[in-house]
Structure formats: structure tokens, C-alpha cells
Amino acid sequence: MLRRVILGFGISIDGYIARRNGAMDYLVIDREGEALMADFFAKIDTTIMGRKTAVGMVKMRKSGEMPEMPGMSTYVFSRRWKPGRRDGFEVVSGSLTAFVRKLKRRKGKDIYLGGGGQFCRSFLQEDLVDELFIGLSPVLLGDGIPGFPAKFPQRDFKLIESKSYSNGSVALRYERIRTKTTR
């Protein structure tokens, strides 16, 4: 069985993954949220992200907001950074589709696509997302960085799990519906 690529992030009711300045202070991680994320990351052994998300991850690691994840292979796609090791990541470039297909054929757990925005759009344009894992936060930001920026073809998903939490958040999991023509 091929590994799945899972796009996951927290999002406001009005569809933003962060404020305009990149702050995600509206996301509340309590004990329920920590348990949910621990379960989620137990099924993941590879992370792919864009350069902007990687910069934020480095800051969060240095400040202690995010723990190191031993045993996790982390790849950063960048046209600006030179390929190779950097800040605990493997920087890669080239064909996103070819790279993801190669990763999916390797033995291992699922692959987490971290971040949103333009990088997320690239994965959706290339039809590389197998599952969406969305934490819906009970807040309207009114402005910010959209989770799903425009200009990618329609992609159909079916709800496979939804769970509500005491803080008003909802975890949603959707699986990509593919027909023979979309495979």
C-alpha cells in the first residue's frame, strides 16, 4: 500500500491559517489538542514543507514552542535555498510530483504536508494530496493568510471523521475521492 500525503493545519472559521503577519496566536492547544496531535504524528514519519513554513519552524524550535521530532524525515522545497542539509531539514528542489511519488513508494508511515498558502496550492494543483486533516478553530479573523489560496482545479473529498472538543474546536478528516480519470 502506498503511503498517503496528508495536508494538515489549523484554520479559522473564515478560512485563515494565520494572521497577515504570520501569527497563529488564535490557535489554542490544550490537553485535548496535544493528545490529538500526538496520535496524528504517531502515524507520520516524513514531513514536507515550503521555505516559509521551515523558517517559522526553526523559530518555534529555538523558542521551545515546538519540540524536536526524532525519527522524522523533514524535507523543505525551495527555489531560493541551495539543496542539502540546513537547520535539521533536507532542502530539495526540482519536480514536486516526481519527489512525492518517489517518497510514496518507500516503505514507511504517512507523509505530512505542513503549511498552507502557495505551497499547499502547488500540491493541490498537482493532485498530490490524499487526505485533509483540518483543525477548525472557533474564531473569525476577518483577514489573514488563506489556507486554500485560489487557482487550483476542483478537488473532491469525502468526510471520514469529525470530532468536536471542549474548547469549541473541531477536527475534520477528509479523504480524496479519485476516479480513474484523476489517478
Express each pLDDT in 133-152 by its tens digit: 999 999 999 999 898 888 88
pLDDT tens digits along 10-58: 899 999 988 998 888 888 777 887 788 888 888 999 999 888 777 777 7
Q: Is residue 177 part of a domain?
A: no
Could you tell me if residue 114 is inside a domain? yes
| Residue 182 located in a structural domain | no
Predicted pLDDT of residue 63: 66
Q: The domain spanning residue 99 has which CATH number?
A: 3.40.430.10
Domain span at 37: 5-164
Per-residue pLDDT at 78 = 86
Judge whether 94 lies within some domain.
yes
96-134: b (≥16 Cβ within 10 Å) or e: beebbeebbeeeeebbbbbbbbebbbbbbeeebbbbbbb
pLDDT in tens, 47-84: 998 887 777 777 766 766 665 666 789 999 888 899 99
Cβ neighbour number for residue 46 with a 10 Å cutoff: 19
Q: In this model, does residue 182 exceed pLDDT 70?
A: no
State the angle between helix axes of 51-63 and 117-125 in degrees (0 to 180), rounded to the nearest 10.
130
Q: Of the candidates 112, 29, 117, which has an alpha carbon nearest to the alpha carbon of residue 66?
A: 29
Q: What is the mean pLDDT of residues 143-164?
A: 92
**Residue 118: pLDDT over 90:** no
- Contacts of residue 140, Cβ cutoff 8 Å, sequence gap at least 6: 12, 13, 14
Between 63 and 94, the more confident residue is 94
Decide if 66 is inside a domain: yes
In the prediction, which pLDDT does 72 show? 86
Residue 178 lies in a domain: no
Burial of 165 (0-12, 13-18, 19+ CB in 10 A): middle
Asked whether the predicted pLDDT for residue 153 surpasses 80, the reply is yes
Q: Which of the two residues, 93 and 56, has the higher pLDDT score?
A: 93
- Domain count of the chain? 1
Q: Is residue 12 part of a domain?
A: yes
pLDDT at 15: 93
> What is the pLDDT at residue 106?
92
Between CA 71 and CA 78, with CA 75 as vertex, the angle to 5 degrees is 165
In a domain, 123, yes or no: yes
**Of 103, 105, 52, 100, nearest in space to 79 by CA:** 52
Q: Please check the confidence at residue 4 and state whether its pLDDT lies above 90.
A: yes
